Amino acid sequence: MAVPIPSKGKRTNGIQRHEPAEQGFRLEYQGKKPVEEILATPPGLYTSNAADSTGDNRLYHGDNLAALATMAQDKTVTGKVKLVYIDPPFATAAAFESRTQKHAYDDHLVGPVFVEALRERLILIHRLLADDGSLYLHLDERMTFHMRLILDEIFGEKNFRNCITRKKCNPKNYTRKTYGNVADYILFYSKTDTYVWNRPIELWDEPRAEKEYQCVDDQGRRYKKVPVHAPGVRNGETGKPWRSKMPPPGKHWQYTPDKLEEMDAKGEIYWSPTGNPRRKIYLENSAGVPLQNIWMDMRDAHNQNIHITGYPTEKNPALLARIIEASSNPGDLVMDCYAGSGTTLAVASRLGRRWIGVDSSCEAIETILHRLKHGTKRMGDFVNGETKPTLLPLFSISDFTLFNEIKDETESVAPGTDGVSAGELLAIR
Ligand SMILES: C[S@@+](CC[C@H](N)C(=O)[O-])C[C@H]1O[C@@H](n2cnc3c(N)ncnc32)[C@H](O)[C@@H]1O
């Protein structure tokens, strides 16, 4: 693999190097609103059962645009959200039903209308994020590339961190004249360049460790050999000869000759039969492999024993655990405003984070309430008609407040949540 040598000056080989502009590209389409207009979105009006609520967590039943506008005016939320994960509709032009054939949600927005609807939410989400906060936007190949441009506009291209490719399912037996489609994508942005980051590490398993660390020393310790030089010429100590040997042409020693001498004395240098030095890297000193941006081990429910809620398009809780652990700390506030079955909320809660969830679907809210009270059940049990939940509740329902959006002044309780929010109604706007 060729390793490029970072250039230091503005000019390399007579060619002018261009710094990336703060605003490289813009996606233009009809109906794109000015940012100021979006930031002035009227907040929603909600009822809540304040009498029952004890915890910090919030669940909004209603359109997330109004909920985000409400939170943008709430000093306890705005600028305080450490992590937003969203998995919006993917512009499939389809309707989705739960495993029990109940209508869950419509995914009917496509093209520029889809882009603008999501852009409006992302502009408000950017407002809500803490300065050291992060956004993860989960999409598939239909809209990821449009939204990459939109997110560059909102967050700044320099705050783009990764486009994660996730293997979402097992290989399919495709009949179409194309490659099997098993990937979706997660765009990861931070609000600034100082953001919460707990580097995820994949632990070594034996076959992988043996492949990577092929040598064994006389004490039985596994190690691998790596070069002691690096690309680029240096004029200081690291460009000088060591043991009468110059670094290879175009390279420099990774350490000063004194340090290399010290390492050799400790047995950390391997000498090849032709007299070339290599550094020994021991397996025992490696915590694991830093996680890369292709995630093969995070498929959604793919066998009958996996526990699910039965809501369509629900994501793998392990995927959310990975993201939440990497980009937030216990006690932090995590938000998912396309909450669906509540995967983000349940996992955030298990990991000791506070959370805010929003969803406009009655089926989603009912699923979340059920999940928080009863847990999930084996996928196979949906097929068998088994109704008994098989996991213990995660925590009591009173650990959050449910806010129901009042769509107009004549409507007092949002549909689909009867029996959940008994008690005094509180208008919070
Ligand atoms: C793909 S699902 C999310 C699934 C979720 N990640 C999970 O693990 O269960 C998308 C969700 O977004 C919700 N949604 C779509 N448009 C919305 C809007 N404008 N406001 C609030 N929720 C919305 C849908 O009802 C649906 O539950």
Q: What are 260-297's pLDDT values in tens digits? A: 999 999 999 999 999 899 999 999 999 999 999 999 99
d(CA 224, CA 217): 10
- Rounded to the nearest angstrom, the distance between the alpha carbon of 41 and the centre of ligand 1 is 20
- Domain membership of residue 17 (yes or no) is no
Three-state SS at 146: helix
Q: Looking at the structure, do residues 187 and 301 belong to the same domain, yes or no? A: yes
Structure token pair of residue 347: 């996992």
The pLDDT of residue 174 is 73
Residue 225 has pLDDT above 70, yes or no: yes
Which of 205, 232, 261 has the alpha carbon at shortest distance from 4? 232
94/132 same-domain check: yes
pLDDT band at 421 (very low <50, low <70, confident <90, very high): very low
CA-nearest residue, atom 2 of ligand 1: 340
Does the C-beta of 64 come closer than 6 Å to ligand 1? yes
Nearest Cα neighbor of 333 from 129, 190, 191 is 129
Q: Is residue 11 part of a domain?
A: no
Q: Phi-psi bin for 197: left (phi > 0), alpha (psi -120 to 50), beta?
A: beta
Q: What is the largest CA-CA distance in the chain?
A: 89
CB of 157 shorter than 6 A to ligand 1: no
For residues 126 and 179, the answer to whether their CB atoms sit within 8 Å is no
- Do 227 and 78 lie in one domain? The reply is no
State how far the Cα of 238 lies from the Cα of 389, in Å rounded to an integer. 64
Percent of the residues in the chain that have a pLDDT greater than 70, as a whole number: 85
pTM: 0.86
Residue 179 domain flag: yes
CA-based Rg of the chain, rounded to a whole angstrom? 27
Ligand 1 centre to CA of 357 (Å) is 10
Binding site membership of 361 for ligand 1 (Cβ less than 6 Å): yes
Query: Which tokens in the block code for residue 67?
Result: 């909920």
Tokens of 267: 């047995």
Please report whether residue 357 resides in a domain: yes
Nearest atom, ligand 1, residue 364 CA: 27
Q: How many domains does the chain have?
A: 2
Domain final residue pick, 285, 319, 352: 285
Residue with more model confidence, 14 or 81: 81
Whether 215 is in a domain gets the answer: yes
What pLDDT is stored for residue 429 in this prediction? 23
Predicted confidence band of residue 344 (pLDDT cuts 50, 70, 90) = very high
Is residue 93 scored above 60 in pLDDT?
yes
Mean pLDDT of 239-252: 94
Looking at residue 99, its pLDDT comes to 87
Ligand 1 pocket, residue 359 CB under 6 Å: yes
Asked whether residue 49 falls in the same domain as residue 129, the answer is yes
Please provide the size of the chain in residues: 429
d(C-alpha 108, C-alpha 52), whole Å: 36
* pLDDT for res 392: 56
At residue 2, the pLDDT reads: 64
Q: Would you say 329 and 198 are in contact if contact means Cβ atoms under 8 Å apart?
A: yes
d(CA 107, CA 91): 6
pLDDT band at 8 (very low <50, low <70, confident <90, very high): low
Residues 108 and 124 grouped into a single domain: yes
Distance 405 CA to ligand 1 centre (A): 16
pLDDT at residue number 399: 86
- For residue 273, give both structure tokens: 């039969």
Q: What is the pLDDT of residue 326?
A: 98
Distance 22 CA to ligand 1 centre (A): 32
Range from 48-57, 137-146, 183-192, 402-411 carrying the lowest mean pLDDT: 48-57
Q: If you take atom 3 of ligand 1, which residue's CA is the nearest one? A: 340
Return the best residue to mutate from 360, 366, 371, 403 for the ligand 1 pocket (most ligand atoms within 8 A of CB).
360
- Whether 420 shows a pLDDT value over 50: the answer reads no
- If asked whether residues 314 and 375 sit together in one domain, one would say yes
**Is pLDDT at 335 greater than 70 in this prediction?**
yes
Q: Is residue 338 domain-shared with residue 236, that is, in the same domain? A: no
Residues 248 and 277 in one domain: yes
pLDDT value of residue 54: 61
Question: What's the 87 CA to ligand 1 centre distance in angstroms?
Answer: 7
The model's pLDDT over 144-196, given as tens digits with 9 standing for 90+, comes to 999 999 999 999 999 999 999 999 998 877 788 889 999 999 999 999 999 99
Mean pLDDT of 60-75: 97
Give the domain range for residue 251: 206-285
pLDDT band at 6; cut points 50, 70, 90: low
pLDDT at 17: 53
How far apart (Å, rounded) are the C-alpha atoms in residues 27 and 79? 27
Q: Is residue 240 part of a domain?
A: yes
Q: Grade residue 410 by pLDDT with cuts at 50, 70 and 90.
A: low
Whether residue 163 is found in the same domain as residue 306: yes
* Same domain, residue pair 278 and 295: no
| Mean pLDDT taken over the chain | 88
Distance, in Å, from the CA atom of 296 to the CA atom of 205, rounded to the nearest integer, reads 16
pLDDT range class, residue 414, cuts 50, 70, 90? very low
Q: What is the mean pLDDT of residues 104-130?
A: 97
27: tokens are 């996606």
Confidence of residue 23 (pLDDT cuts 50, 70, 90): low
* Same structural domain, 124 and 221: no
CATH number for the domain that contains residue 63 = 3.40.50.150
The answer to whether residue 21 sits within a structural domain is no
Residue in 355, 82, 116 with CA at minimum distance from that of residue 192:
82
**Would residue 417 count as lying in a domain?**
no
- What confidence category does residue 306 fall into, taking pLDDT thresholds of 50, 70 and 90? confident
pLDDT digits (tens, 9 = 90+) for 364-395: 999 999 998 888 888 777 767 766 655 556 65
Residue 262 makes CB contacts below 8 A (sequence gap 6+) with none
At residue 375, the pLDDT reads 86
CB 46 within 8 A of CB 405: yes
Q: Which of 259, 285, 311 is the last residue of a domain?
A: 285
Q: How confident is the model at residue 415 (pLDDT cuts 50, 70, 90)?
A: very low
Average pLDDT over residues 236-249: 94
338 CA: nearest ligand 1 atom: 12
> How many CB atoms sit inside 10 A of residue 302's CB?
12
SS3 assignment, position 386: coil
pLDDT of residue 51: 60
Q: 157 C-alpha to center of ligand 1: Å? A: 27
Boundary residue ending a domain (285, 312, 344): 285
The predicted pLDDT at position 386 comes to 67
Distance 404 CA to ligand 1 centre (A): 16
Q: Is 121 in the pocket of ligand 1 (CB under 6 A)?
A: no
Least confident of 48-52, 96-100, 161-165, 300-304: 48-52
| Residues in CB range of 199: below 8 A, 6 or more apart | 290, 291, 326
Q: Are residues 39 and 154 in the same domain?
A: yes
The reported pLDDT for the residue numbered 366 is 95
Distances (CA, A) of 247 to 224, 241, 260, 273, 274: 21, 7, 12, 18, 15
Amino acid of residue 54: T
Residue 107 Cβ contacting ligand 1 at under 6 Å: no
